[in-house]
Amino acid sequence: MLDIVTRAGRSLKNAKARTLLTSLAIAVGAFTLTITLAAGNGIREYTDRLIANNFDPAESIVGRDKEVENTGAPDTSPKEYDSSVASVSFGGGGGSVQVKQLTDKDVKELKQLSFVEAVRPNYEIAARYITRPGQKKYTLSLQAYNPGQKPETQAGNVPESDVAAGEVLLPNEYVKLLNFASAKDAVGKIVRITIERPFTEETLREFVAQSLVSPAPTTQPKQETKTINLKVAAVTKKGAAALSASGLPLLLNADDAKSMYDYTTKGTNQYGKYLYASVRIKGGENDATATAAKKKLKKLDYYVMTSQELQQTIGQFVDILQILVGVFGVITVIASVFGIINTMYISVLERTREIGLMKALGMRGRSVAWLFRLEAAWIGMIGGVLGALGAFVLGVSLNPWITKTLSLGKGNDLLIFDLAQIVGLIVILTVVAIVAGWLPARKAAKLDPIEALRTE
Amino acid sequence: MIEIQNITKTYGKKANTFTALDNVSFTVPSGASVAIVGKSGSGKSTLMHIMSGLDKPSSGSIVVDNQDISQLKSKALDRFRAEKIGFIFQAFFVQANETCMQNVSLPLEIARVARGSRKKRIAEALNQVELSEKAATKARNLSGGQKQRLAIARAIVNKPSIIFADEPTGNLDSATGEKVEKLLFEFNKQLGSTLVVVTHDADLAKKCDMQIHIKDGSITRIETAKKIVAKGGAK
C-alpha cells in the first residue's frame, strides 16, 4: 500500500499544473467552509458572551400571552377581547399584534410563588424629556434597573441589586448633551426628568362638554406633568457585548419606575398592566429547575420563556446563518468533484500504457484502482490544506480589522479557527476526492493489458 | 518446462469468428531460448500472450513448471506473472518520468518484495545491464538502447523463470540491437531462465535454440538447434 501511495504521489508530481489547478477548485470550497466554520465559532462565542452579559440565567420572561414563547413571526389573528389586551406595533409595516398583558394581580400572584425569587414587571415609561438647569431638553427612554443586565460603567458604581431610590444610571451620551464636564463630574449631580399624565376620560369629557357649550373654548385641557429630580449614581456606557441596537436607557430604582409608570398610565387601560415580567427563579441557573418552574407557571396559565430557551433561539439563528453560508461551500466542493473526475479520467487515458504495463507485470486491478483513488485523495488533501491555510492566513490577518469595523470589542474575534475542525474538514475533502476518483479508477482497473500495450 | 497443448484461440462469435490460433502444440524445455517467428497477423503475439498468462486460450492448456495456467483464476494468474514472468517490449514501455531505479523497482513492488531487499536487487539488475551510473537518471533522458537495457533490468530483477521479449530489437539500430540481443542470451544462459523471443527477424531467430514458425494461426515448422531435443511439432 505504501508503494501505491508514493507511486500516486509521484505521478501527481509529474502533472504539477493539472494537479494544482484541480486542487484549487477544491481549495475554494475548503476556503469557504473553513471561513464558515470559523465565523460560526466566532459568532457563537460572541453570542454566548452577549447572553452572559445581557441575561441572568436564572431569569425567565413570563407573560399572559403566548407571544412570549413565540420566536417566529407574531400571530396577528384576532383574539378574544379582554381588558388586559394591548396593541403592540412591530416591524416597519405598521402592523400590530394584540397581546394579552400581565396585571398587578398577576404580579402579586407571581411574587407569592415559592420558587420565585424576584419579579420585575416591564415598565415602559413614556417620559417627555430630560434636562438640568440651564440646559436644553432631550428625549430619553427609561427602564427599571435589572441586575442581570449590568451595563459597563464609565464613572461611579453600578449597584449590585438595585439603584437606590431617587437615583439614576445615566448613559454616557447625556454627559456631553447635558453639558457635564466629564462622566466623573456628572456623578452625584441632579438631572430632571419630566413625565406626563395622559388625558383621562374625565378631562376629555369635560373638554367635549365645554366645547359643546361655547364653540370656542377658552381653556384647553391642560396636560398634567411632573418633574422628578434624580441623582446620577453612575455613568454607563454600552458594552461591546450589549445586545440592544439602540442606545442605553436611563436605569431607575424599581419602585421609582413603578410609581412613574403608574403616573404615566393612570386612567388609561394600560394602568397596572405589563407586557411581560422578568421572573427570577430560585436556582434557575440550573436547566432542570428552570424547566420545572416553567411547568408550574404554565399550569397557572402563564407563558414562559426561560433564559436557556432564549439562548437557544439566538443559537438557532446563528446556526441557520452558518448553514446558509456552508451550503455555498458545499456547492463549490460538489463542483470541484466534477473537476477531479475529469482530471482523473484524463490521467487514466494518459497513462493507459503504464496501467497496461503494471497489469501485465501482475499488478491486481484493485491495486491499480487504488493507485488512482489515492491520486484523487492527494488532490483532495492538497486542495483542503491550501484552502484551509488560505482561510487561516486571511482570517488571522483580517480579524483585528473586522473586530474594529463591527466594533465587537477588544478580544472578540469574528473568526475563530479550530484545528480539530480544520483537520476534520481536510479528511472529509480527501474522502470526497476518493469517491470522486472512483469511476476513473474503476476504468483503469478494468483496462485490458493487451489492449493497453497495443497503443503505440 | 512449458508445454503447450492443443491451444486454440478464437475471437468474435458465430459467423464472425476469427481463429487466431488453431490447435497449436509444442514443448519448450526449461532454460531454452525460443523464437516465435511469423509475419504480423500470423498469431505469434497472441501465442506469446497466452503463453505468458496475459490472455486465456479458448481451448487447450499451457503447463508451466507442472502448473496449468489456463485453469488459474485471475488473482493467481496475476501472481504467476508477477513472480515467474519477465516482459520486454518493442516499444520499451519504460516510465519516462521515473528514474531507472524506480522503473526497475516496479516488478518488486508488484510482487510485494520487502522494501529492505529491493535496493540491493535493483542495483544488481542495473549493474548487469551496465546502467549502474544511470540509476538516478530519469528514463526519458536515456537513449533507445539504454531504455531497452533498462527494460531488461526490469524484466530480470525478480529472477523470473521465463522472459518474454516481443520484438526486443525492433526499435533499435543494428549495433545497439546486437548488444541487447547479446544481453538477452547472456541472461538466458546465466540465470537459466527460459527466453521466448517473438520476432520476424530471421537473424535473431537463428540465434535461438528453437524456432517456431507460425502462419495463419498454425505452426508450419519447428527447428531445433543441436543439443536441444524438442518434443511435439506441427500437427
Retrieve residue A422's grid coordinates.
480544520
pLDDT of residue B234: 37
B30 membership: H or E segment, kind and range: none
C-alpha cell recorded at residue A304: 414562559
Q: Tell me which chain B residues have a C-beta less than 8 angstroms from the C-beta of A350.
A: none
pTM of the model: 0.71
Grid cell for residue B102: 524506480
A419-436 and A438-446 helices cross at what angle (nearest 10)? 40
Q: What percent of chain B has pLDDT over 70?
A: 96
Chain B residue numbers with beta carbons less than 8 Å from the beta carbon of A363 are: 78, 82, 110
- What pLDDT does A226 receive? 87
Residue A241 pLDDT more than 70? no
Share of chain A above pLDDT 90, in %: 23
Q: Which residues contact A97 (CB under 8 A, 6 or more apart)?
A: A67, A74, A75, A76, A87, A88, A90
- Other C-beta atoms closer than 10 Å to the C-beta of A316 total 11
Secondary element (H or E) of residue A417: none
- Give me Rg for the CA atoms of chain B: 18
The answer to whether A362 contacts B95, with C-beta atoms less than 8 Å apart, is: no
- Measured CA angle at A230 (ends A229, A236), to 5 deg: 145
Is the pLDDT at A244 greater than 90? The verdict is no
**Chain B: nearest CA to A365, how far in angstroms?**
9
Report chain B residues whose CB lies below 8 A from the CB of A360: 54, 81, 87
Give contacts of B159 with chain A, Cβ < 8 Å.
none
Q: Confirm or reject contact between A282 and chain B (CB < 8 A).
A: no
Interface subset of A 339-368, CB within 8 angstroms of B: 353-354, 356-365, 367
The reported pLDDT for the residue numbered A90 is 58
Q: Report the residue of chain B nearest A454, measured CA to CA.
A: B91
Per-residue pLDDT for A424 more than 60? yes
Interface test with A, best of B11, B50, B54, B92 (most A CBs within 10 A): B54
Question: Cα–Cα distance between A114 and A117 in angstroms, integer?
Answer: 8
**A439 pLDDT more than 90:** yes
Residue B156 pLDDT exceeds 90: yes
Euclidean distance between CA atoms B103 and A4, whole angstroms: 14
Q: Which DSSP letter does residue A285 get?
A: T
**CA separation for the pair A239, B154 (Å, rounded):** 75
Cβ B81–A10 below 8 Å, yes or no? no
Measured between CA atoms, how close is B225 to chain A, in angstroms? 31
Mean pLDDT, to the nearest integer, of A114-142? 87
Contact A362 B81 (CB under 8 A): yes
pLDDT of residue A239: 67
The rounded distance, in Å, linking the Cα atoms of A254 and A118 is 11
Is residue A67's pLDDT more than 80?
A: no
* SS3 labels along A238-264: CCCCCCCCCCCCEEECHHHHHHHHHHH
Which of B7-11, B21-25, B180-184, B222-226 is predicted with the least confidence, judged by mean pLDDT?
A: B222-226
Q: What is the ipTM of this complex?
A: 0.90
* Strand residues in A328-378 grouped as ranges (E): none
Q: Where are the domains of chain B?
A: 32-42+73-226
Overall average pLDDT of the A390-413 stretch = 83
Q: Cβ-count burial of B26 within 10 angstroms (0-12 exposed, 13-18 middle, 19+ buried)? A: buried
Copy the grid coordinates of residue B202. Answer: 530471421
**Phi and psi torsions of A98, nearest 5°:** -90, 120
Q: Which residue has the cell 427612554?
A: A141
**A69 φ/ψ angles, rounded to the nearest 5 degrees:** -95, -5
**Which superfamily is assigned to B32-42+73-226 in CATH?**
P-loop containing nucleotide triphosphate hydrolases (3.40.50.300)
A1 touching B (Cβ < 8 Å)? no
